[in-house]
Amino acid sequence: MGKIHFLPAGKTIRTRPGQSVVSAAAAARVVIPQRCHGRASCLMCKVVLEQGELSAPTPMEARKLTAHELENGVRLGCQAKTTQRDCAVRIPESRLKSVVQAALERARRENAEEE
């Protein structure tokens, strides 16, 4: 049994070999967005393997992800499976969330300047 550590959430959970990253995340109460229910069609569940080991990329991942993404540890959470070894995966921040946070920060700065 290995462990998977989710970044930036900072949560760690024990996993059984062959468990999908999305399934392990759900058990740890970490949200990995997805719409296709594990069919690798929405590509929303991309994660980055920061350290450790996951299963080899599936044929579906090889078709859906670029060679550059695979070389840089990008995996589909619905397809990537855990192994006996520990690993750490980063869940990228959604673009919408980062845009909203930037707008809020800009508004805060403008309000501070007016006061």
Domain boundary assignment for the chain: 2-114
Please tell me the chain's helix, strand, coil percentages from 3-state DSSP, rounded to the nearest 5. Answer: 35, 30, 35
Is residue 79 over pLDDT 80? yes
The pTM score is 0.80
Q: Please, are residues 3 and 84 in contact by the beta-carbon 8 Å criterion?
A: no
Supply the pLDDT for residue 98.
65
Q: Class of 2-114 per CATH? A: alpha beta
Helix (H, G, I), strand (E, B) or coil at 105: helix
Taking only the tens place, the pLDDT of each residue in 62-73 is 999 999 999 999
Question: Residue 49: pLDDT above 80?
Answer: yes
- For residue 37, the 8-state DSSP code is S
AA letter at 14: R
Quick one: pLDDT band at residue 57, thresholds 50, 70, 90?
A: very high
Residue with tokens 């996951």: 54
12: left (phi over 0), alpha (psi -120 to 50) or beta: beta
113: enclosing H helix or E strand: helix 95-114
